[in-house]
């Protein structure tokens, strides 16, 4: 069994925030996989689906971003799931908008949701880093991530979430490279710019 956890803040006030793109991706995956209905469980909205031949628990923690790890850790302990079988979808300031990288472990780059998750389950979980770009000034980061995506951003946000959903089956057998490359090809085809292949050295 695996966990696909999206990071975000609960409630309609935050639903379209840049910080909530992890929720958006997991919701898209649930729809594409025809998951069971969402229900309250593990301090989260949770549902189950079969993806890539594996049983997957999809989570949207309702603990607010800074306490995401409480919910993810609770589910992981209940099902005895190892960190390498936990995939966390989150917004990434250090990637340009519409770009995506997958990595195992690494730093948290000031992301409070990742910091909380690492504190709860250790560092060796898999991260799907969904680029939202940087406002250019550290002082502007907080309002930037807690503002909604602009109208001009909505097409790539929808396409990136669709690409994650269409290719989520590759994450189940740990084909992270295949997943990343398929997403990049989809985004290129949709006109969202040239991207690096996984085989090219990334400066992450």
Full domain range(s) for residue 26 = 2-189
pTM above 0.85, yes or no: yes
Instruction: Give me the helices (H) in the chain, please.
Output: 21-32, 68-79, 112-121, 141-145, 154-167, 176-189
For residue 73, the 8-state DSSP code is H
Q: Is residue 203 part of a domain?
A: no
List the catalytic residues.
Answer: 19
Q: What is the predicted pLDDT for the residue at 17?
A: 98
113-154 residue pLDDT tens: 999 999 999 999 999 999 999 999 999 999 999 999 999 999
Question: What confidence score (pLDDT) does residue 59 get?
Answer: 98
User: Is 197 within a domain?
Assistant: no
CB 171 within 8 Å of CB 32: no
pLDDT tens per residue across span 62-73: 999 999 999 999
DSSP state of 17: B
Q: What is the mean pLDDT of residues 161-189?
A: 97
Q: What is the pLDDT of residues 3-54, one digit of tens each?
A: 999 999 999 999 999 999 999 999 999 999 999 999 999 999 999 999 999 9
Four-residue CA torsion sign, 8, 9, 11, 12: negative
Contact assessment for residue 164 and residue 134, using Cβ atoms and an 8 Å cutoff: no
pLDDT band at 193 (very low <50, low <70, confident <90, very high): low
**Would residue 202 count as lying in a domain?**
no
Domain-embedded: residue 43: yes
Asked if residue 81 is part of any domain, the answer here is: yes
Three-class secondary structure of residue 143 per DSSP = helix
Number of domains comprising the chain: 1
Residue 89's closest CA among 182, 192, 171, 145?
171
Nearest-angstrom CA–CA distance, 38 and 67: 20
End-to-end CA distance of the chain: 29
Whole-number Cα distances in Å, 59 to 34, 68, 85: 15, 10, 13
Alpha carbons within 13 A on the beta-carbon side of 117: 36
At 109 the pLDDT is: 73
Asked whether residue 198 is assigned to any structural domain, the reply reads: no
DSSP designation for 38: P
pLDDT at 198 over 60: no
Name, in order, each residue with C-beta under 8 angstroms of 138's C-beta and a sequence gap of 6 or more: none
Is the residue at 199 inside a domain?
Answer: no
Residue at 95 is within a domain: yes
Which CATH number do you get for residue 75?
A: 3.40.50.1470
If you ran DSSP here, which 8-state letter would residue 56 be given? Answer: E
User: What residue ranges in 7-134 does DSSP mark as E strands?
Assistant: 39-41, 44-51, 54-61, 86-92, 100-104, 126-131
């Amino acid at each position: 069994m695996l966990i696909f956890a999206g990071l975000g803040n609960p409630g309609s006030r935050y639903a379209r925030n840049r910080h909530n793109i992890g929720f958006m991706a997991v919701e898209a995956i649930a729809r594409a996989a025809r998951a069971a209905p969402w229900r309250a469980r593990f301090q989260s909205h949770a549902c189950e689906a079969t993806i890539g031949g594996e049983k997957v628990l999809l989570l949207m923690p309702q603990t607010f971003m800074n306490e995401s790890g409480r919910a993810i850790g609770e589910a992981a302990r209940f099902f005895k799931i190892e960190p390498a079988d936990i995939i966390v979808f989150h917004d990434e300031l250090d990637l340009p908008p519409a770009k995506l990288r997958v990595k195992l472990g690494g730093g948290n780059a000031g992301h409070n949701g990742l910091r909380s998750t690492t504190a709860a389950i250790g560092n060796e979980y898999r991260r799907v880093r969904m680029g939202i770009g940087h406002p250019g000034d550290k002082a502007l980061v907080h309002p930037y991530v807690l503002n909604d995506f602009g109208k001009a951003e909505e097409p790539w946000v929808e396409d990136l979430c669709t690409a994650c959903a269409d290719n989520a089956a590759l994450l189940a057998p740990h084909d992270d490279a295949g997943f990343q490359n398929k997403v990049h090809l989809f985004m290129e085809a949709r006109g969202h710019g040239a991207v690096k292949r996984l085989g090219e050295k990334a400066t992450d």
